[in-house]
Amino acid sequence: MNKTELIAGMAEETGLSKKDCETVLNAFTAQVEKALKDGDKVQLVGFGSFEVRARAERTGRNPKTKEAITIPASKAPVFKAGKALKDSIQ
């Protein structure tokens, strides 16, 4: 499912226009992004949570030359599914 299909499904489910659903979806993603940038965790009970996890610096290998390289530390957004979402899929 892509963004267009998601918006169409939301419009059908809610009775709102596709344009309104797109506005709501864009606002949701913008707020999640803003919260993660600020270091906050976004929890949607029953659905899941979004958070940022730090990855430590580590040593890796260049597969072409087999030379050891250092992979710098980074931060990555992570989604963890909630119990209700996990149960609904099984």
pLDDT tens sequence across 34-82:
999 999 999 999 999 999 999 999 999 999 999 999 999 999 999 999 9
pLDDT of 68 reads 95
List the domain range (segments joined by +) for residue 30: 1-40
pLDDT at 47: 95
Query: What is the distance between the alpha carbons of residues 44 and 82, in angstroms, rounded to a whole number?
Result: 8
CATH of the domain at 70: 4.10.520.10
Q: Are residues 28 and 67 in the same domain?
A: no
CB within 8 A of 48, min separation 6: which ones?
79, 80, 81, 82, 85
Residue 46 exposed, middle or buried by CB count within 10 Å (0-12, 13-18, 19+): exposed
Q: How many domains does the chain have?
A: 2
Helix (H) or strand (E) holding 69: strand 68-71
For 57: left if phi > 0, alpha if psi spans -120 to 50, otherwise beta; the answer is: beta
**Based on the domain organization, do 24 and 46 belong to the same domain?**
no
Render pLDDT for 10-42 as a digit per residue (tens, 0 to 9).
999 999 999 999 999 999 999 999 999 999 999
